[in-house]
């Protein structure tokens, strides 16, 4: 009988603060959501990071920190194909179960949907959590939008 790992859906509302140099502007909250998937132990699974609309926010780079259970999952690589990050440069550094993700783009991101995918192999049966530790999005106007509280 195949053993199944369920990745709990984690919703993160990254309430983002605006810090423009001498300018005043408003920006709507950008919401991030780590998708929920089932997988069979030993199989690869790509977990989507879904975001609300980035259109009009001028996001040209982002930094995410996402932690995961190394006893249950093995990180393989980021997946840019068919995501909002497809035309950018994305790097991931994994340290002790924490993914440090950095992405940069020549044009501002627009639209909503899958920001990026994270490919894992399930190495142990049971439930595994992916948790946002922090999220920072940088805009064309040198604004830094920050957030990071995670909710189960």
Q: Model confidence over 8-37: pLDDT tens digits?
A: 322 222 222 222 222 222 334 566 777 665
Domain 4-138 sits in CATH 3.40.50.1480 = no
Strand partners, 12: 32
The pLDDT mean for the chain works out to 73
- What's the token pair of residue 12? 């993160």
| Mean predicted confidence (pLDDT) in 69-97 | 94
Tens of pLDDT, residue by residue over 50-62, are 888 888 888 899 9
As a whole-number percent, the residues of the chain with pLDDT over 90 amount to 36
**Conformation bin of residue 141: beta by default, left when phi > 0, alpha when psi is -120 to 50:** alpha
Q: Could you write out the three-class secondary structure of 97-115?
A: CEEEEEEECCCCCCCCEEE
Instruction: Give the model's pLDDT for residue 143.
Output: 55
Higher pLDDT: 149 or 111? It is 111
Q: Report the pLDDT value the prediction gives residue 42, as an integer from 0 to 100.
A: 78
CA atoms of 26 and 87, how far apart (whole Å)? 27
The confidence score (pLDDT) of residue 53 equals 87
* Residue (of 137, 142, 131) closest to 29 by Cα position: 137
Q: Note the pLDDT of residue 140.
A: 78
């Amino acid at each position: 009988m195949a053993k199944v790992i369920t990745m709990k859906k984690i919703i993160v509302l990254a309430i983002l603060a605006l810090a423009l140099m001498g300018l005043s502007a408003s920006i709507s909250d950008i919401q991030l959501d780590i998708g929920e998937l089932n997988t069979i132990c030993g199989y690869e699974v790509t977990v989507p990071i879904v975001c609300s609309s980035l259109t009009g926010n001028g996001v040209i780079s982002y930094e995410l920190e996402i932690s995961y259970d190394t006893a249950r999952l093995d990180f393989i690589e980021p997946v840019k194909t068919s995501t909002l990050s497809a035309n950018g440069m994305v790097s991931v550094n994994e340290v002790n179960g924490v993914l440090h993700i950095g992405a940069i783009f020549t044009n501002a991101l627009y639209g909503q949907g899958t920001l990026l995918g994270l490919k894992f192999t399930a190495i142990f049966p049971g439930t595994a959590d992916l948790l946002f530790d922090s999220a920072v999005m940088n805009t064309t106007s040198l604004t830094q939008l920050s957030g990071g509280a995670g909710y189960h």
